[in-house]
Amino acid sequence: MKLKEKIVIDFEEFFKSGKFDFLKLGKTKEWIINNFPDPDYFDENQHVYKDDIWRYGNIELHFNKDKLFLIFSDYVDELDGGNSLELKKWFLENTDKLKLSDVISELNKKHIDFNKRKSKIVENAVNLELQSNVQLGFHLEEKENEDNVKFLERCKKTNQDEFRLSSFSLMTK
């Protein structure tokens, strides 16, 4: 659907409530194409409709059997909503403040509860599961010229300030 103005995605609201404008997990591609802006490149290539991943800048909508099951981005440092989404980035605006401790502080200021866990999928990663079911993924950045052995040794001794926000997601449970 073509809209005259961009849809505003407010990340404070998304992290608080899981609301990505009015888009909800479980909606069909057909519903989304009739009620939400078209994904990027839809005008040039109608086959995008058949893809399992629709992109709005570097934010992705993932589908399984034509139903939305995941809203995701791992481009937090350069977050972009493409042609259709205007992003109110909240603390994501300041890419120097994406350390785990900074993000926890921002969440606490807004009274957004969360659980912190080591990632079950990615070694040396931490996830914050927000009360809204939005997941924030953090990872350790390898230092320049650091070999794998030194990196793994550092991981054992690491603190919150070494983990950096690398992704967000909202997924059907």
Residue 152: per-residue pLDDT: 58
* Backbone Cα Rg of the chain: 17
Residue 42: per-residue pLDDT: 76
Residue 166: per-residue pLDDT: 96
Residue 69: per-residue pLDDT: 98
Mean pLDDT score of the chain:
89
| HEC assignment per residue over the chain | CCCCCCEEEEHHHHHHHCCECCECCCCEHHHHHHHCCCCCCCCCCHHHHHCCEEEECCEEEEEECCEEEEEEECCHHHCCCCCCEEEECHHHHCHHHCEHHHHHHHHHHCCCCEEEEECCCCCCEEEEEECCCCEEEEEECCCCCCCHHHHHHHHHCCCHHHEEEEEEEEECC
Residue 18: per-residue pLDDT: 96
Question: Who contacts 4 (Cβ-Cβ below 8 Å, separation ≥6)?
Answer: none
Residue 45: per-residue pLDDT: 62
Residue 147: per-residue pLDDT: 66
Residue 171: per-residue pLDDT: 97
Residue 173: per-residue pLDDT: 84
What are the Cα distances from residue 65, in Å, to 13, 53, 56, 59, 103?
A: 28, 12, 20, 20, 34
Residue 168: per-residue pLDDT: 98
Residue 61: per-residue pLDDT: 97
For 10-57, write each residue's pLDDT tens digit.
999 999 999 999 999 999 999 999 999 989 887 666 677 889 999 999
Residue ranges in the chain whose pLDDT is less than 50: none
